[in-house]
Amino acid sequence: MLSDFQDKLKVQQLRNLRYLTVFVAVVVTLLGFLFESLYHDGWILFTGLMVSLSMTMNYLLSYYLPFFRNKFNLITDVSIFLLHVWAVYVAYQRDFEFIVMLPVGISIFTFSLIFDRFSKSLVFIFTITTIMLALMLIKRGWEPQYTVAVITLYSGAFISNQIQQRKREFHQELEKQESRYASLVENMNDGLIYADQQWKIIQVSEQFCRISGYSISDLVGSDLRKLTAGNDAIANASQFFRSLDGGGSAQAEFHIVRKGEGVNAVRVNGAPYYDTTGQRVGSMVVYTDITSLKQTQELLKKREEGYRTFIDQSSIGIWRADYLQPIPADLSVDDQVELLLNTGVITECNDFIAHMYGYRNSAELIGRPVRDFYSLENNQDEVKTRELLGQFVRSGYRISNSESKERDRNGNVRYMLNNNIGIVEHGNLIRTWGVQADITERKNTERELQEAYKELDTFFYKASHDLKGPLASMMGVVYLGRMENKDPNVNRYFDMIETSVQRLDATLMDLIRLARTRKGASKLHAIGVTELVRHIMEALSHLPKFSKTKFDIDIPVQLQVHTDKVLLQSVLQNLIHNAINYSNRQSPQISIVATQNADTIEFRVADNGDGIAADVQPRIFDMFYRGHQDSNGSGLGLFIVKNALEKMHGTVRFQSDKGAGTTFIVTLPKRLPEA
């Protein structure tokens, strides 16, 4: 903590009293010899020398003996009292002549101001004056001029009181200011140091001790410059100290050594300070600990470097637009769009987005108005630009995975995937971040695949239809051959041919259904589920096991679904067909149940067959996969079911245990939205 101001004041008062004591001792000695030479009064000289000797001894002993040093003020008060007793004695010896009374009165009044309390001054004046009045009465009796002297002395007492009060108020104000200053210094976050002209520390605050780790005793008397750490810091500090030595103020940043280990980064501000004569006696330096600030700045720098590396090395286009004035979020959409176009400026982007639009680097885009950028993206289509920005505002300043068809600087068509987000602070849009990915190659590949799928579907459909004609002719030939030939062996061959033709015909029908499902939902209808299942049952009635199969059908009469009738029929027909084929051979039984929820319809088709083996289950929806060894199908049925349900936004799952049959569960939306 800084040295107490009161301690300084006491030291100064002690010094002044010592000077006064010596001065008075010399004056008393001179007066003693003067009176001796003028009046030849040996007692005045002797008593004066005794008073002078006592004051001189008090002065000398205060330097060497603690008792006299600690009691110096009290001994001085006694010496002043004895001095004025001697002065009254001198006045008594000279019959209270005016030439003697005048300096005695002045001395009494003057020395009454030396005491630190008015009570001491009043006792001093009252005692000396009373002694003097008593001697006056003894010597000459009462005279009128004595009244003037008494009034003057006691008036001086009251004047002394006023002066003492002003002095006390002055000291109190000094104490208050010193207390405020000390409180400010000790409670500030900065460390304060006073150093002399040789940079020896003479005063230091507790806060600097906390910053440096040293105690006050460690610091006081040491060289302030030696606390500096590091070569670069020494260079900065040397310049700082040279500036202060030159008599000017200075500031700098460097590191100081902490006690034990480590360094602290500090910001320093210094200024010279002067004594009462205007002479520079040292410097005042304020140390601010900026270690945490420097660490934060270093962390921010590393993050900035990482951020810049991420932006520059990203394989997607990244840009930022700032607005010349914040855009209030409570404005109308049209007004906000107008401000977006008129006040937005591209302030940051990476080279990748510049290359996407045919530019050499990001510098060619930075600084361009947002209006030009959006117009570039939308091929100078003002209406489309405003629609895009209006969508951005209405969606809470967000655009997610929005595709756009654009042209680059060279006129080439590019497809972009856009994600934009606006930054809002205090109810105002202040900037927008955008991320763009060039999906031109992906879109071209998708278009090529769609064309290939379309060609493949067309091939499936046409090939299947074209092959059905020859198959029908073959069936006709088989029929004629049976009519003309009655040989049992030949008829057995005809049966084998007919079975193969039927299997081929079933495969062709599956391929035709597959081609239809791959086209997706085309025309949507409100379909009565009960009527649809009845038609499917009639279409499957030719199957060998159909007549002996027990069907348990539970479908609400009024149940309807709004979807593609061809796809739904294909799904249910394949599932019911499979259930008939794979149900129990001795007592086949099939359950068909339909239920509806708030937004969906669920179909359950269950058989009582052997179930699906566990090792087969993961692949039953694969194309051309036949998991049953007795299967004579094409392996397309369940594949068609899955594809058709995807087109109708539905799902299929199954439950099957060995020997406990299989249940297929289909879930569909009650109303498929129009494409």
* pLDDT band at 206; cut points 50, 70, 90: confident
| 434: containing domain | 314-438
527/529 Cα distance (integer angstroms): 6
Are residues 621 and 546 part of one domain? Answer: yes
Note the pTM of the prediction, 2 decimals: 0.41
Are residues 467 and 412 part of one domain? Answer: no
* Residue with more model confidence, 454 or 296: 296
Is 414 inside any structural domain?
yes
- Last residue of a domain, which of 183, 199, 231? 183
Are residues 651 and 580 part of one domain? Answer: yes
Structure tokens at 76: 């001085």
- The total number of structural domains that make up the chain: 5
Looking at residue 1, its pLDDT comes to 39
Phi and psi based region of residue 346 (left: phi greater than 0; alpha: psi -120 to 50; beta: remaining): beta
Residue 564: exposure state from Cβ atoms within 10 A (0-12, 13-18, ≥19): buried
- Whose tokens are 């009494």? That residue is 108
Looking at residue 4, its pLDDT comes to 45
Is 593 inside any structural domain?
yes
Are residues 117 and 255 part of one domain? Answer: no
Instruction: Kindly tell me if the per-residue pLDDT of 434 is higher than 50.
Output: yes
Are residues 194 and 179 part of one domain? Answer: no
- Whose tokens are 């080279």? That residue is 351
What is the average per-residue pLDDT within 396-414? 82
Are residues 31 and 178 part of one domain? Answer: yes
DSSP structure string for 484-519: H---HHHHHHHHHHHHHHHHHHHHHHHHHHHHHHHT
Are residues 336 and 285 part of one domain? Answer: no
Are residues 134 and 62 part of one domain? Answer: yes
Identify whether the C-beta of residue 265 lies closer than 8 Å to the C-beta of residue 255.
yes
Is 612 inside any structural domain?
yes
Is 510 inside any structural domain?
no
Torsion of CA 278, 280, 283, 284, to 10 degrees: -10
What is the average per-residue pLDDT within 339-368? 88
Looking at residue 328, its pLDDT comes to 93
- pLDDT tens, 535-590? 888 878 878 888 888 999 999 988 999 888 878 888 888 889 888 888 888 889 99
Is 13 inside any structural domain?
yes
403/399 Cα distance (integer angstroms): 10
Are residues 414 and 480 part of one domain? Answer: no
Instruction: Kindly tell me if the per-residue pLDDT of 346 is higher than 80.
Output: yes
Identify whether the C-beta of residue 237 lies closer than 8 Å to the C-beta of residue 247.
no
Identify whether the C-beta of residue 288 lies closer than 8 Å to the C-beta of residue 266.
yes
Is 238 inside any structural domain?
yes
Instruction: Kindly tell me if the per-residue pLDDT of 409 is higher than 50.
Output: yes
Are residues 461 and 574 part of one domain? Answer: no
Cα dist from 624 to 16, 357, 570, 611, 662, whole Å: 118, 46, 17, 19, 20
Identify whether the C-beta of residue 416 lies closer than 8 Å to the C-beta of residue 436.
yes
Specify the CATH number for the domain of residue 399: 3.30.450.20
Are residues 192 and 176 part of one domain? Answer: no
Specify the CATH number for the domain of residue 646: 3.30.565.10
Torsion of CA 518, 520, 525, 527, to 10 degrees: 50
* Residue with more model confidence, 491 or 362: 362
- Last residue of a domain, which of 410, 438, 466? 438
* Residue with more model confidence, 21 or 283: 283
- Last residue of a domain, which of 126, 148, 183? 183
What is the average per-residue pLDDT within 112-136? 70
Looking at residue 330, its pLDDT comes to 92
Structure tokens at 338: 């107008």
- pLDDT tens, 499-537? 666 666 666 565 565 555 555 545 777 889 899 899 888
Is 586 inside any structural domain?
yes
- pLDDT tens, 440-495? 888 888 888 877 767 766 766 666 666 666 766 776 766 677 777 777 777 777 66
End-to-end CA distance of the chain: 83
Are residues 199 and 173 part of one domain? Answer: no
Is 365 inside any structural domain?
yes
Q: Identify the bridge partners of residue 257 per DSSP, sorted by sequence position.
A: 263
Identify whether the C-beta of residue 451 lies closer than 8 Å to the C-beta of residue 347.
no
Cα dist from 241 to 192, 254, 269, 287, 341, whole Å: 15, 12, 11, 13, 55
